Amino acid sequence: MPVLDEFRLDGKSAIVTGAGRGIGRALAVALAQAGASISVVGRDAAAAAHTVAGIVESGGRAVAVEADINTDEGVETAVSQTVSQLGSLDILVNNAGYCIHKPALEVTRDDYHAVMGVNMEALYFLSQAAAKVMSAQGGGNIINIGSISSLIVNRPQWQPVYNASKAAVHQLTKSFAAEWAPLNIRVNAIAPGYIKTEMAPVDEPRFKQRWIDDSAQKRYAMPDELGTTVVYLASNGSRFMTGSIVVIDGGYSIF
C-alpha cells in the first residue's frame, strides 16, 4: 500500500467533542479531509452547525449531535445518534475542555467540579460508552486532547485544577490503552502547548514573556497545526502506537 494511503480514513466515523470552535473544529475538519465522517458533539447547537456546514461545503460528511456529555443521558445520545446517523463509531476525539485561572487558595468546590467534570468525568464516561460500541465492532481508536499543563506549571496565571485534570487525562490514556488493547482499541493522546484559541489569549502582551518567549520556537501555534498529528493517530499509519502521549509545543517543555 502506498504510504500516504495509510493515513486515509475513508469509511470511518468519528466523534469530535467541543468541535464547534477552536481546536475541536480544526481537528474535525482535518479528519473529514482525510475521509472520515464526523459527528460534531456539543451543547452549542449553533456552533456545531457552523462546523458541519463548513465540512459539508468542502465535500465532506458531517452531522451535529446536541448533547451534554457531562450527563449519562448526553453520553448515550452522543454515541447512539452517531451510530444511527453515520453507521458506526470508529474514532473518538475527546477534545472538550474547560479551564479556570485561579490560585489554589481561591479555588472553590464548584470551580473544582466544573473543571474536572468536563476534562475528566465526561471524557471517562464517553470513552467507556464508545469503547463498548468499538469492541462490538471489532476495534476502534480513541484520541484524548491533553496538555503540556500536565508536564509543567503554567505561569503567570495559576490553574492548578486544570493542570491536575490534564495529568489525569494522560494517565487515563495509558490505563485505557492497557485494558483495551485486547479489544483492538487503541488509545493515545496529544499534549498541545500554547495554541491560539478563545481559551488561550496568546496575543495578550502580559503573557508573551512566559508563553511565547520561553518556548524554543518562540511562537504559538494555530489550531490546524494539530490536525495532521490527530489524523496520524486515527489512521493505520500509527497502528503500532497505543498509550502514547505526543507533545506538540514548539519546544516549550524541553527547558
At 67-109, the pLDDT tens digits run: 999 999 999 999 999 999 999 999 999 999 999 999 999 999 9
Contacts for 66-74: CB closer than 8 Å, 24+ residues apart? 66/42, 67/41, 67/42, 67/43, 68/43, 69/17, 69/41, 69/96, 69/122, 69/125, 69/126, 70/117, 70/118, 70/121, 70/122, 72/125
Residue 229 located in a structural domain: yes
Which listed residue (98, 162, 194, 232) is catalytic? Answer: 162
Is 220 in the active site?
Answer: no
Residue 253 located in a structural domain: no
pLDDT, tens digit (0-9, with 9 covering 90-100), for 139-165: 999 999 999 999 999 999 999 999 999
Residue 170 sits in a domain of what CATH number?
3.40.50.720
pLDDT at 1 over 80: no
- Cβ count within 10 A of residue 106: 9
Q: The whole model's pTM is what?
A: 0.97
Residue 201: per-residue pLDDT = 85
pLDDT band at 20 (very low <50, low <70, confident <90, very high): very high
How large is the average pLDDT for residues 239-253?
A: 98
How big is the CA angle at 86 (ends 82 and 91), to the nearest 5 degrees?
65
The whole domain housing 132 covers: 3-248
Q: Which of 235, 241, 253 is nearest to 147 (CA)?
A: 253
CA gap 163, 76 in Å, rounded = 28
Residue 141 located in a structural domain: yes
Residue 195 located in a structural domain: yes
Domain count, the chain: 1
Residue 255 located in a structural domain: no
